[in-house]
């Protein structure tokens, strides 16, 4: 049985988390296929996520997309590539509730409507595109009954949407292997360890500003590739060693090494931005005060108590080795940035991951 009638809509909803890189991806060797110049490692941020509903129906006359309630064009190559890759892997799908059958050959004539929402500031350096594209690919694959023909294939498709998105299909600690093949087939993410491997680790996200960043990651890294000598040194000499050391630190739950590498890599990424012409500034005074707080505390104790990392924006992601140290970190942050009298500080909960607005 094929498609009957014109009055049906098939829908699927998925949720995908954001991630924060502790060894950063910055720079592409292939702009179209989004192939990076170095491998990277991230931690999946379970509490920052995108929720995406994808729908198809015979009455839809074009592919359309709504982000946080506002319609945006689906004409960008990135959306088109992801959609086309999933469409070409679509299979016969039977809707469990209604018994409706969409045949493999019907998918190419059906348009999709996509509605996606983030529960965190969009484009403020909290990897909204990572969660968004990972979620889109996952939801579309589910809707169209697409199956991976090799392990990591969906990660490679999410990468076509946004590089960092390939890491958001997995939980815990994730490595995006830069790969060697021109096709990008081996430029995929794999899980290093599940979140439960390092149960004591606490992540605090300090939202410094929810304003949209001035230079997008895509444009920023393009300029860095063209103009920054430091970037090439970083990709060729520094990062390959750090990737190995970071993997070992994660496997051994060695917080001191993890913290040193995380802070050093964030600082080198921002140094690369400054080494770009014209220079790019993603951090602000609040970001720098947070760095000062952690650095002074670590120097005073003689061993890392906490670590920080900043993506392409001023917001900080902070790490502590356990709840006790995380509470002390939180106290220090609140001392430096006292909350307004009417602020609801009950939300500054220490668990495995916390979010606070400064």
Which residues contact ligand DP6 (rule: CB under 6 A)? 21, 24-26, 34, 40, 127, 129, 162-164, 217-218, 311-312
Alpha-carbon distance of 298 to 255, in angstroms, equals 12
Closer by beta carbon to ligand DP6, 144 or else 208: 208
- Give least dist CB 87 to ligand DP6, A: 21
Q: From the CB of 189, what's the least distance to ligand DP6, in Å?
A: 11
**116/298 with CB nearer ligand DP6:** 116
Q: CB 331 → ligand DP6: shortest distance, Å?
A: 29
User: Least CB distance from residue 333 to ligand DP6, whole Å?
Assistant: 22
Closer residue to ligand DP6, CB minimum distance, 55 or 158: 158
Per DSSP bridges, beta strands 307-309 and 316-320 are antiparallel
Residue number with the shortest CB distance to ligand DP6? 163
**CB nearer to ligand DP6: pick between 36 and 321:** 36
Please report how close the Cβ of residue 255 comes to ligand DP6 at its closest, in angstroms: 21
Burial of 259 (0-12, 13-18, 19+ CB in 10 A): buried
We find the least distance from the C-beta atom of residue 289 to ligand DP6, in angstroms, to be: 21
Minimum CB separation of residue 123 from ligand DP6 in Å reads 9
> Given the complex with ligand DP6, which of 37 and 326 has the nearer CB atom?
37
Q: Which is nearer to ligand DP6, 205 or 312 (CB)?
A: 312
Ramachandran class of 58: left when φ > 0, alpha when ψ lies in -120 to 50, beta otherwise: alpha
> 35 or 358: whose CB is closer to ligand DP6?
35
Least distance from ligand DP6 to the Cβ atom of residue 147, Å: 25
Residue number, 28 or 117, with CB nearest to ligand DP6:
28
Q: Note the Cα 289 to chain centre separation in Å.
A: 25
């Amino acid at each position: 049985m094929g498609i009957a009638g014109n009055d049906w809509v098939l829908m699927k909803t998925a949720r995908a988390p954001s991630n924060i890189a502790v060894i950063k991806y910055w720079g592409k060797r292939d702009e179209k296929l989004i192939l990076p110049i170095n491998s990277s490692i991230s931690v999946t941020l379970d509490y920052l996520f995108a929720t995406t509903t994808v729908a198809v129906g015979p009455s839809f006359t074009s592919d359309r997309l709504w982000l946080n309630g506002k319609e945006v064009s689906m004409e960008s190559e990135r959306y088109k590539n992801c959609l086309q890759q999933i469409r070409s892997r679509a299979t016969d799908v039977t809707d469990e509730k209604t018994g409706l059958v969409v045949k493999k050959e019907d998918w190419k004539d059906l348009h999709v409507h996509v509605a996606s929402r983030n529960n965190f500031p969009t484009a403020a350096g909290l990897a909204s595109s990572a969660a968004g594209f990972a979620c889109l690919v996952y939801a579309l694959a589910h809707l169209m009954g697409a199956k991976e023909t090799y392990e990591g294939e969906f990660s490679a498709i999410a990468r076509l949407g946004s590089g960092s998105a390939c890491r958001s299909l997995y939980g815990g600690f994730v490595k995006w292997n830069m790969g060697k093949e021109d096709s990008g087939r081996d430029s995929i993410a794999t899980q290093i360890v599940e979140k439960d491997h390092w149960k004591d680790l606490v992540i605090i996200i300090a939202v410094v500003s929810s304003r949209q960043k001035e230079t997008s990651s895509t444009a920023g890294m393009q300029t860095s590739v063209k103009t920054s000598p430091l970037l090439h040194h970083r990709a060729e000499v520094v990062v390959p060693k750090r990737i190995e050391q970071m993997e070992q630190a994660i496997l051994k739950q060695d917080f001191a090494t993890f913290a040193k590498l995380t802070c050093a890599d964030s600082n080198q990424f921002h140094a690369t931005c400054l080494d770009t012409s014209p220079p790019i500034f993603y951090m602000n005074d609040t970001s720098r005060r947070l760095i000062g707080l952690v650095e002074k505390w670590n120097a005073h104790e003689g061993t890392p108590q906490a670590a920080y990392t900043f993506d392409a924006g001023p917001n900080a992601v902070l790490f502590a080795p356990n709840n006790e140290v995380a509470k002390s970190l939180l106290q220090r942050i609140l001392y430096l940035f006292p909350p307004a009298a009417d602020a609801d500080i009950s939300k500054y909960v220490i668990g495995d991951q916390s979010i606070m607005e400064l």
